[in-house]
Structure 1
């Protein structure tokens, strides 16, 4: 975890003493910054431990200290380090009272502790935390890859849900939930279909965040990411967590996006290749070359039918043709397919083939 004021206070070499705000030492420190300006706020980003000697401050003036400390607290400064033995032999009472009033932690820095030592300790702790996050990210990437290779997208989603301590779901190009982890997450993911559809309207890669705010119906924070290398997303990934993702969790999500994109693109390539082989096999059969067709097809489609065989191709002409067929071509016992003329035709063909002892293969559209 990143350094905190408490970790600095407990560092034996720094010899820091808490003079105010002792109940707020658990806040993380983003940086340690030295400034002797009377108003350093314009140069602060928030999250800093500000180190001063009060070179340009009247630290014994209560009203001046109240204004000074109030400005620092409003700018997001998490702590104030005051060096004694330089301009003041001890921390002025006016500064202590102002810090207590605003709830801003005030640390006394002894003369033998240079500000540089504090800055180096904060920098080293931040670097160590980032290294741990990167290492955890690489470990997550290895685990996600292993799961993707052994158990496919379902295994990958399970590993990702564990890494982020939340849930994950995969959507297809239509916005339907394909897989989710844990099992209960499917219901939550299904309620985000409209958000996934809006994401699909944006050029890929695209992402969005839903939930996790006071205006949301759900407490969890959900990130949606499009998957695919083209302009239009081929799928989408949802990741739900209780709070914003940390560095390690972010690495895991990015790894999952890359792996799922690769899986999606490979699946489409395989499907396209299979369709091309199917067309070639059909053309060989129609040209009277069954041996060549079998050699090309291999085991891809199972055993090919032995000749002679019949091929029936049908497609609906129009919605009116559907209605006409529905009113003039009723098949007994097919009331459940009243709105599906091709389905009724398939029943008729299957029934006729069964009576004649022939085998029929019905291939639906798509």
Structure 2
């Protein structure tokens, strides 16, 4: 603890007497300064105990007449208080036999501690006492910080890993600490009772996720609508060494962190960052292995992949699986990597649920895609669907449920579902939905629209320049599956008129309406024009 005015007053060798500001003696003293200037504030930084003999202060009436000295003393005290001086010590027995009463009254008015320094006590003795206390504080800070760093390092290298570091940090700070993963989900909190407080910071963690690491935020009380329960002082810090957050650390304490506590916090941040970056390298190796295993599975070598995974990878997903294929939508830009975010989220969900999954990044032409093989209906499956629905930066195609041996066919299904999603501007498309749906949503493609326009152009030009509704007649005839009477009734014309129009359609298009393929192409062209 730094020296305070109270500790100086308790020092019996200094013989100090408190004349004003008795309720402010717990202020820490950062330095002792001696000055006889009428205005020493240009030479102060705040936090000092100022010592003076009052040579320039004058008597109660002052050298310029009755009452002028009182005003000067009050102005002197106000200048010191505004400059952040923690206390004023006045030596008696030289310029003043006693501390002037107006000075005492002014100090009491401003709440500025005023100390009487008797003549036998040299100012240097007070300076030495403060210097010794400051040196002891610095030594204690260094010792405590070194011990804390050793303790945290042992925790990081032990079996508990990051969880042990968080627990030790909370104990060292006398408050609580929480660790969040890269997605912002709460993973470790200590003590247990702080879980509710840590969960209230989800919005702040999400805001910090959008900033490059390392970044920090300080929350005091309830700023910005954040309820920290007991108005804790909260420090939130992102963890990461290459601008990409790998996690987040929050600590809450009743009071602001002292310099020593900040050193301890910084040591914990460094250790957690190293641990997460080391885990990241291990994950990269696992990702390369997972990519190789996934390729084996998709190639129909599920049995071989299962044997390898049992020894090196911990096993493959059990039971029915789905293939998820993710890709940023066309035209997506930005510095963020949505595929990496989705992979991180999937891996974190798998760890929480104890599920197995395979993840790989691949390139399909100019586009990069993320392939995930996940348990059907499991936590990873649900979390990826939620992430894609909430994030406009990624589009997801999902296969039907399949066994591991049918993973290759499931991958093809996911590709078709992804193509439909990208074409239709949707975030998630399930293959089951594609199979049970309609081809019509696929007709919105520009190439299809151009084909339809070219195919139907002769009919439309005829309708614009001559009598006869050939396009409308063709639509009615096709919708009635070539039934002359029903189509003619829909149009309100005689069936012979409709037969004439259909012959004219064949002449303009140069195609026979007896050909089933021609009928199909014409019907799709008409529907594409509608869209």
* TM-score of the aligned structures, taking structure 1 as reference length: 0.78
How far apart are 1:233 and its partner, in Å? 1.1
- Looking at structure 2, the residues matched to 35 and 224 of structure 1 have their Cα atoms a distance apart, in angstroms, of 42
Match of 2:160 in 1: 151
- What does 1:1-366 correspond to in 2, within 5 Å? 1-60=1-60, 61-148=69-156, 149-212=158-221, 216=225, 217-218=227-228, 219-279=231-291, 299-301=311-313, 310=405, 312-313=407-408, 314-315=410-411, 316=414, 317-318=416-417, 320=420, 322=429, 325-326=432-433, 328=435
Whether the aligned pair in 2 keeps the contact of 1:212 and 1:243 (CA below 8 Å) is no
Whether the aligned pair in 2 keeps the contact of 1:199 and 1:206 (CA below 8 Å) is yes
Deviates more, 1:309-318 or 1:96-105: 309-318
How far apart are 1:323 and its partner, in Å? 5.2
How far apart are 1:19 and its partner, in Å? 2.7
- Looking at structure 2, the residues matched to 201 and 188 of structure 1 have their Cα atoms a distance apart, in angstroms, of 22
Cα 1:302–1:43 change in 2 (3 A) is closer
Q: Secondary structure at the match of 2:236?
A: strand
Cα 1:80–1:327 change in 2 (3 A) is closer
Structure 2 portions without partners, runs of 5+: 61-68, 317-403, 422-428, 437-531
How far apart are 1:101 and its partner, in Å? 3.3
Q: Secondary structure at the match of 2:94?
A: coil
- Looking at structure 2, the residues matched to 274 and 103 of structure 1 have their Cα atoms a distance apart, in angstroms, of 64
How far apart are 1:81 and its partner, in Å? 0.9
How far apart are 1:146 and its partner, in Å? 2.3
How far apart are 1:225 and its partner, in Å? 0.8
Deviates more, 1:42-51 or 1:207-216: 207-216
Cα 1:28–1:69 change in 2 (3 A) is same
Whether the aligned pair in 1 keeps the contact of 2:216 and 2:237 (CA below 8 Å) is yes
- Looking at structure 2, the residues matched to 239 and 142 of structure 1 have their Cα atoms a distance apart, in angstroms, of 19
- Looking at structure 2, the residues matched to 27 and 211 of structure 1 have their Cα atoms a distance apart, in angstroms, of 21
Cα 1:93–1:259 change in 2 (3 A) is same
How far apart are 1:213 and its partner, in Å? 5.0
Q: Secondary structure at the match of 1:202?
A: coil
Deviates more, 1:238-247 or 1:257-266: 238-247
How far apart are 1:230 and its partner, in Å? 0.8
CA offset digits 1:186-230 (Å, max 9, x no partner): 332222222112212222211111242566533122211111111
- Looking at structure 2, the residues matched to 202 and 303 of structure 1 have their Cα atoms a distance apart, in angstroms, of 36
- Looking at structure 2, the residues matched to 100 and 278 of structure 1 have their Cα atoms a distance apart, in angstroms, of 73
Whether the aligned pair in 2 keeps the contact of 1:212 and 1:242 (CA below 8 Å) is no
CA offset digits 1:149-202 (Å, max 9, x no partner): 231222211111111122111111111112211223233222222211221222
CA offset digits 1:261-291 (Å, max 9, x no partner): 1111111111111232445567799799x99
Cα 1:14–1:284 change in 2 (3 A) is same
CA offset digits 1:56-93 (Å, max 9, x no partner): 22142222212211222232222111112222232223
Whether the aligned pair in 2 keeps the contact of 1:226 and 1:233 (CA below 8 Å) is yes
Cα 1:89–1:274 change in 2 (3 A) is same
Aligned alpha-carbon RMSD (Å): 3.1
Whether the aligned pair in 2 keeps the contact of 1:21 and 1:99 (CA below 8 Å) is yes
Cα 1:104–1:279 change in 2 (3 A) is closer
- Looking at structure 2, the residues matched to 205 and 324 of structure 1 have their Cα atoms a distance apart, in angstroms, of 41
Equivalent pairs counted in the alignment come to 324
Whether the aligned pair in 1 keeps the contact of 2:33 and 2:50 (CA below 8 Å) is yes
Q: Secondary structure at the match of 1:318?
A: helix
Structure with bigger gyration radius: 2
Structure number with higher helix proportion: 2
Cα 1:312–1:18 change in 2 (3 A) is closer
